[in-house]
Chains A and B, each alone.
Chain A
Amino acid sequence: MSSNSFSYNEQSGGGEATELGQEATSTISPSGAFGLFSSDLKKNEDLKQMLESNKDSAKLDAMKRIVGMIAKGKNASELFPAVVKNVASKNIEIKKLVYVYLVRYAEEQQDLALLSISTFQRALKDPNQLIRASALRVLSSIRVPIIVPIMMLAIKEASADLSPYVRKNAAHAIQKLYSLDPEQKEMLIEVIEKLLKDKSTLVAGSVVMAFEEVCPDRIDLIHKNYRKLCNLLVDVEEWGQVVIIHMLTRYARTQFVSPWKEGDELEDNEKNFYESDDDQKEKTDKRKKPYTMDPDHRLLIRNTKPLLQSRNAAVVMAVAQLYWHISPKSEAGIISKSLVRLLRSNREVQYIVLQNIATMSIQRKGMFEPYLKSFYVRSTDPTMIKTLKLEILTNLANEANISTLLREFQTYVKSQDKQFAAATIQTIGRCATNIVEVTDTCLNGLVCLLSNRDEIVVAESVVVIKKLLQMQPVQHGEIIKHMAKLLDSITVPVARASILWLIGENCERVPKIAPDVLRKMAKSFTSEDDLVKLQILNLGAKLYLTNSKQTKLLTQYILNLGKYDQNYDIRDRTRFIRQLIVPNEKSGALSKYAKKIFLAQKPAPLLESPFKDRDHFQLGTLSHTLNIKATGYLELSNWPEVAPDPSVRNVEVIELAKEWTPAGKAKQENSAKKFYSESEEEEDSSDSSSDSESESGSESGEQGESGEEGDSNEDSSEDSSSEQDSESGRESGLENKRTAKRNSKAKGKSDSEDGEKENEKSKTSDSSNAESSSIEDSSSDSESESESESESESRKVTQVSTPVFVPTKTHVLLHRMSGKGLAAHYFFPRQPCIFGDKMVSIQITLNNTTDQKIENIHIGEKKLPIGLKMHVFNPIDSLEPEGSITVSMGIDFCDSTQTASFQLCTKDDCFSVNIQPPVGELLLPVAMSEKDFKKEQGMLTGMNETSAVIIAAPQNFTPSVIFQKVVNIANVGAVPSGQDNINRFAAKTVHSGSLMLVTVELKEGSTAQLIINTEKTVIGSVLLRELKPVLSQG
């Protein structure tokens, strides 16, 4: 198809001819247009030549002109072949402009666009993250269906990229691919799931955007990331914040129970809402059992609050709607101040904000009452802003402020902006009906307006007075008489019709005037507006029924006029009335009831706010603004009766990592507010090292078991940690009561420390001074227990120590989709391998996700690079459905990051899998003293040293943060340091035992020097490359 259209374009001038036609019509003189066009053709010819030239400057010039054409909306597609050749240009600006061109026209020239794909594929592998990112951006923006698989692959790869910037672009690409080919949904959801776990603030906003577009209904993907998102929110860029807040609002409405007391709903609709709040509360409290808010619900509300102070109006509005929709009503008050602040902004922002305030102020007046004066109208406001302000003022009016408001309204009524003046009159009418005390005052005021010089004002007043009088069928003869007189002067049809209707309704109260009015109207009937004619007919009918003596002839005359009117409505009405009121033989039983029909008591119209029905839309949305459901609008669900299981949001131990990655801010928050359950607090303070302790404490025999625990404690992190705490606590209690007592500050903390000491003892036989183990110092950061006492001299330099931190990050070995239900994950327990001291130990967890037994799981053919060795696990006879089993194996990677490929076999199938170790896992931690470290470092300079400068915020450079970041990436041991600004880590490679020394030295400002000394320079530089972004990111 696409090739057809292309060749057609080329061979026939048809396309060009039509284009010519367009050009011609758009200009004034056709001959001039022709000339213009031909020169245009030439110009393109000459652009082509420029693009073919060797000089970059000529090409750049040509591209600039082409972009100019695109910008103006002119068609430049015929240059495609010439432009696409330059996609591989070395000049970065030419390249960028070619990208612009490609994205614009690739859809039209699909075949030619394919020529450029290989360039992007190459660029996707570029070491420069900017180039990788932009290649992905352009590749995914080319809307050519053929390349969907290539895009998919690129997205998958980019989503695992080390650079968060590339990952962010991957998140954007997801949406593009989805709109190009919705069939990729399942695969894309997998990528989204993966990216949602990303801890970078850069990625968070974009991936949530992708989530909203691709699979907004998969709320289950959010559970595990909910707390992380809440905590990251403050640091996400402003646009991401808006998207995340909207998503979390929807999430909260499905996962938490309503924080609104039942009484609230009623209270809102009551008119006298502002009665003392406390009363209401007491009442509701008495009859309801106390409601406790889910801590996660509270977390969201609390973490969004600072964003009310954002400079970005969209963020403020997003938070405001979140508070409106999910916070307890007593807390929503804080948003009003921020919303009022936005009113200082430009008119578009004002418009949207005022609309939202209008909706809010209907339901909860109290919120905006203190800001009443902020809604006063200025004569310079645009009309649309004025009317919105007026709307809000009306909603806020009550007995207390109505007199002030009415005075204000008086000014508005006189406004030169007549449309606004008319709206004000409507408003006064509404106030009059809502607040009984002022009805008479308002009515009098409106009557005064009847003598206004401006017709629009008078007409509007008449209409409003009509409504008011209808509501109060008391004696208002005087007003009606006055209005009857107005008929002589007023010309606005609505007003005339209103007066006539009013006289008709009250014809018995003004018996003298009514027939006279009818007489006058009969005279002018033919020249009246249709609307008025109908009312004349009505008036006639009513008078005929009540006062037929005087008006019989008049009415008949009018009915005759009506019979031959041009408008069918009027003819129709005439016929209807005649049948009903004029008795004849044909008229049925109805005419007996004519009086009842015409002069029935009519219900008064309700003067309501036009914003009344908007509240079913989520505030701040496009749908709310337009008051129609926009495409893609996601309904906000009602609160569930019973909250779904809150434990789904619990995250495994990896959650700990979150505590320190977003740096200072998150940490401060946590210490300030006790939100997490006790046990989690404990975990925070014990800095996660406790987990590893329990494992190492129990030496090799129990390894498998403890590893499994760390891996599979999905149910709740609290459980496992408390278990570990108690375990280590017990041990220390037995052997080391003295230290336990001395150290018992926070229980959990001291417990884990003791556990560590236990390990130390078992390893280093001679440490009588248990408190001063080096690891303890570094892991429980500020514990200032004399390192001077440490007896490091007695240790051997390369003494392997226990790992200080074991990341629980698992890697997918075999996905259940590709493994026919068999899923395998692996992770590095960071233990010395029991199968051989040159091997890295690896634990593999196998899951059976099918509903049948999987039998004979074993490792089949191994395809190992030269030198690599592997110790396989014993074959597993069978794995029950839903069952899982963890096995250990060891691989000697020869200190390289080569991939170990092998086959994982079951009875029936073989799956090729591979393990590529992160460089940090090829190490074993080493305990050494600062002195030894310096000595060793002195011997590993020159070629063996690599270094880099990192830049990050100061809060990222606290020793504990650096420590956590480093040990998360690499299995290294900390070396006690005498200087605050230098952090040292030591390790040796597993295979050759070469030392690997890492130094992070903080410099002035927000920079730091990262130095790695090792004989294994390759591993050293790879490690440097991995550590650098981690340390510099927040």
Chain B
Amino acid sequence: MIHSLFLINCSGDIFLEKHWKSVVSQSVCDYFFEAQEKAADVENVPPVISTPHHYLISIYRDKLFFVSVIQTEVPPLFVIEFLHRVADTFQDYFGECSEAAIKDNVVIVYELLEEMLDNGFPLATESNILKELIKPPTILRSVVNSITGSSNVGDTLPTGQLSNIPWRRAGVKYTNNEAYFDVVEEIDAIIDKSGSTVFAEIQGVIDACIKLSGMPDLSLSFMNPRLLDDVSFHPCIRFKRWESERILSFIPPDGNFRLISYRVSSQNLVAIPVYVKHSISFKENSSCGRFDITIGPKQNMGKTIEGITVTVHMPKVVLNMNLTTTQGSYTFDPVTKVLTWDVGKITPQKLPSLKGLVNLQSGAPKPEENPSLNIQFKIQQLAISGLKVNRLDMYGEKYKPFKGVKYVTKAGKFQVRT
């Protein structure tokens, strides 16, 4: 399936290559560079490219291109999903998925790639298994290794590979047994000029951090499971149990993982926690325009809205912006034409606003459309859909774990058209 993999950085250097079948020359990447040149920006490089002898399937992650070479028919999503899994693994191992990190750990990267794929077909992709096969680098271990000459390669087969719980490693031991769940909900919305909602929905995930000894069998129940319209599960969850009782029953992997992601049924009206008043105008035949936005809380359910950031991609003709703000700080990058306003918390007494003048390139026609505002915010201790975890029970182990649930609501793709 997957023939070879090339890692390419933003400036077009191939800094790592790995072949699972016979060697494919680097020159195959020229087709990729060609496509990259044709596309205006990195985001627009087509993920699937056809060349005379091969097919290239690529992903763009953290300023790196992962370009895989395929020779025969294969579901493209299969490859894309796998490449993302590779990037996730690097992230997991090195803390970041960057060129520097990969170059520093090239041996581990190679060992990982060797284990993840055999003859182009995925072999071990579960982080728990990989970590037993190849231990992640730590400063202490690298020091010890260099002195003793020992290795970071495990010499036994992870038990997970053989049991039917391939996601959990065996013999987990903690002195403090803890299980934390983060319910994170994101509001995706498009708000039109007049402030009415064109489209809004809530997407949520439950991320877990489980540090429990032995083989715990957990079941998590909700106060209001009916809210969840569409759910996707980590493989550890017993699907039947969910179908019949709406309870999440699972033997968790060790460490951090995403338990479920869900969408809240669209019947429920989505409460939009902020509103924006805006007036942006460009004068005809003059080299300036006015810019004025005010942001305020709305339906915030008694919680403070914090971490507000407004990002605006200004039209190309904008040269500079002269603004004053009542709260927070703003930056305008004249190259990318991106205006970022870091607001912080909103207090209803004094609404933050940003206003001032926009300098336009003289002579150019005034922009057709006002830019749309992308808004980020965060509300702690609130799941905007109202989803509540009821209880967490553990079976199979004797000890009493420490349990915790945290709720956060964030803006997802939250866009205000002006």
Query: A314 and B78: CB pair below 8 A?
Result: yes
CB-based nearest B residue for A356: B77
Max chain A C-beta neighbours (<10 A), residue from B21, B55, B162: B162
Whole-angstrom distance between the alpha carbons of A143 and B21 in the complex?
9
Whole-angstrom distance between the alpha carbons of A9 and B82 in the complex?
39
Q: Does B296 contact A (CB under 8 A)?
A: no
Query: B48 and A626: CB pair below 8 A?
Result: yes
Selected from A100, A141, A669, A954, the residue in CB contact (under 8 A) with B217 is: A954
Q: Does B156 contact A (CB under 8 A)?
A: yes
Whole-angstrom distance between the alpha carbons of A633 and B46 in the complex?
21
* Residues of A close to B201: CB separation below 8 A: 374
Q: Does A1013 contact B (CB under 8 A)?
A: no
Query: B215 and A382: CB pair below 8 A?
Result: no
Query: B78 and A239: CB pair below 8 A?
Result: yes
Query: B84 and A346: CB pair below 8 A?
Result: yes
Whole-angstrom distance between the alpha carbons of A201 and B166 in the complex?
11
* Residues of B close to A1034: CB separation below 8 A: 163-164
Whole-angstrom distance between the alpha carbons of A376 and B215 in the complex?
45
Q: Does A93 contact B (CB under 8 A)?
A: yes
Whole-angstrom distance between the alpha carbons of A817 and B190 in the complex?
69
CB-based nearest B residue for A316: B232
Query: A239 and B125: CB pair below 8 A?
Result: yes
Shortest beta-carbon distance, B292 to chain A, in Å? 20
Query: A311 and B232: CB pair below 8 A?
Result: yes
Whole-angstrom distance between the alpha carbons of A546 and B166 in the complex?
81
Query: B106 and A630: CB pair below 8 A?
Result: no
* Residues of B close to A311: CB separation below 8 A: 232-235, 258, 261
Query: B107 and A416: CB pair below 8 A?
Result: no
Segment of A161-169, A425-433, A786-794, A933-941 in the binding face:
A161-169
Query: A454 and B368: CB pair below 8 A?
Result: yes
* Residues of B close to A379: CB separation below 8 A: 313, 371-372, 415, 417
* Residues of B close to A70: CB separation below 8 A: 110
Whole-angstrom distance between the alpha carbons of A311 and B261 in the complex?
8
Q: Does A703 contact B (CB under 8 A)?
A: no
CB-based nearest B residue for A370: B266
Segment of B67-75, B92-100, B342-350 in the binding face:
B67-75
Whole-angstrom distance between the alpha carbons of A93 and B118 in the complex?
18
Whole-angstrom distance between the alpha carbons of A169 and B157 in the complex?
13
Query: B162 and A1029: CB pair below 8 A?
Result: yes
Query: B21 and A416: CB pair below 8 A?
Result: no
Query: B75 and A349: CB pair below 8 A?
Result: no
Segment of A617-625, A641-649, A676-684 in the binding face:
A617-625
Whole-angstrom distance between the alpha carbons of A100 and B19 in the complex?
10
Interface string of A621-661 (1 = CB under 8 A from B): 11101101011111000000000000000000000000000
Q: Does A17 contact B (CB under 8 A)?
A: no
Query: A141 and B233: CB pair below 8 A?
Result: no
Q: Which of A98-113 contact B (CB under 8 A)?
A: 99-100, 104, 107
Q: Which of A161-220 contact B (CB under 8 A)?
A: 163-165, 169, 172-173, 175-176, 179, 201-202, 206, 209
Whole-angstrom distance between the alpha carbons of A99 and B118 in the complex?
13
Query: B239 and A71: CB pair below 8 A?
Result: no
Segment of B147-155, B271-279, B297-305, B382-390 in the binding face:
B147-155
* Residues of B close to A130: CB separation below 8 A: 155-157
Query: B111 and A96: CB pair below 8 A?
Result: yes
Selected from A60, A91, A92, A625, the residue in CB contact (under 8 A) with B48 is: A625
* Residues of A close to B131: CB separation below 8 A: none
Interface string of A585-605 (1 = CB under 8 A from B): 000000000000000000000
Whole-angstrom distance between the alpha carbons of A137 and B157 in the complex?
14
Q: Does B263 contact A (CB under 8 A)?
A: yes
Q: Does B161 contact A (CB under 8 A)?
A: yes
Selected from A104, A337, A353, the residue in CB contact (under 8 A) with B230 is: A337
Whole-angstrom distance between the alpha carbons of A956 and B78 in the complex?
31
Q: Describe B's contact surface by its main secondary structure.
A: mixed
* Residues of B close to A104: CB separation below 8 A: 19, 23
Please judge, given known A-B contacts A71-B16, A179-B21, A239-B125, whether A630 and B230 are in contact too, CB under 8 Å. no
* Residues of A close to B235: CB separation below 8 A: 237-238, 310-311
Q: Which of B155-179 contact A (CB under 8 A)?
A: 155-157, 159, 161-166, 170
Shortest beta-carbon distance, A100 to chain B, in Å? 6
Whole-angstrom distance between the alpha carbons of A237 and B122 in the complex?
10
Interface string of A63-76 (1 = CB under 8 A from B): 01001101111000
Shortest beta-carbon distance, B340 to chain A, in Å? 14
* Residues of B close to A669: CB separation below 8 A: 240
Query: B80 and A352: CB pair below 8 A?
Result: yes
Max chain A C-beta neighbours (<10 A), residue from B23, B77, B125, B365: B77
Q: Does B30 contact A (CB under 8 A)?
A: no
CB-based nearest B residue for A201: B164
CB-based nearest B residue for A70: B110
Q: Does B114 contact A (CB under 8 A)?
A: yes
Query: A92 and B75: CB pair below 8 A?
Result: no
Shortest beta-carbon distance, B225 to chain A, in Å? 14
* Residues of B close to A663: CB separation below 8 A: 164
Selected from B23, B163, B365, the residue in CB contact (under 8 A) with A1033 is: B163
Q: Does A338 contact B (CB under 8 A)?
A: yes
Shortest beta-carbon distance, B319 to chain A, in Å? 16
Query: B121 and A349: CB pair below 8 A?
Result: no
Q: Which of A667-717 contact B (CB under 8 A)?
A: 668-669
Selected from B1, B43, B152, B369, the residue in CB contact (under 8 A) with A347 is: B43
Segment of A516-524, A889-897, A1004-1012 in the binding face:
A1004-1012
Q: Does A120 contact B (CB under 8 A)?
A: no
Known: A379-B415, A1004-B214. 9 other contacts (CB 8 A): A71-B109, A175-B121, A176-B119, A239-B121, A341-B263, A622-B75, A626-B48, A1005-B397, A1033-B163
Q: Give B residues with C-beta under 8 Å from A.
A: 1, 14-19, 21-23, 26, 40-41, 43-44, 46-48, 50, 55, 58-61, 70-78, 80-82, 84, 106-107, 109-111, 114, 118-119, 121-123, 125, 146, 149, 151-153, 155-157, 159, 161-166, 170, 188, 190, 192, 198-199, 201, 203, 214-217, 229-235, 238-240, 243, 251, 258, 261, 263, 313, 315-316, 365-369, 371-372, 374, 396-398, 413, 415, 417
Q: Give A residues with C-beta under 8 Å from B.
A: 55-57, 60, 64, 67-68, 70-73, 91-94, 96-97, 99-100, 104, 107, 128-130, 133, 137, 140-141, 143, 163-165, 169, 172-173, 175-176, 179, 201-202, 206, 209, 234-235, 237-239, 242, 246, 306, 309-314, 316-318, 337-338, 340-341, 344, 346-349, 351-353, 373-374, 376, 378-380, 382-384, 408, 411, 414-416, 452-454, 620-623, 625-626, 628, 630-634, 663, 665, 668-669, 951-954, 956, 1004-1007, 1029, 1032-1034
A-B complex: 6 closest residue pairs judged by Cβ atoms: A1034-B164, A93-B151, A632-B72, A414-B369, A57-B149, A382-B43
27 A–B contacts from the bound complex (CB under 8 Å): A67-B106, A72-B15, A72-B17, A73-B26, A96-B153, A104-B19, A140-B119, A143-B22, A202-B162, A206-B121, A237-B166, A239-B125, A311-B233, A314-B80, A338-B230, A344-B188, A352-B48, A374-B199, A376-B198, A378-B415, A379-B371, A630-B50, A632-B72, A632-B73, A952-B164, A1007-B215, A1033-B163
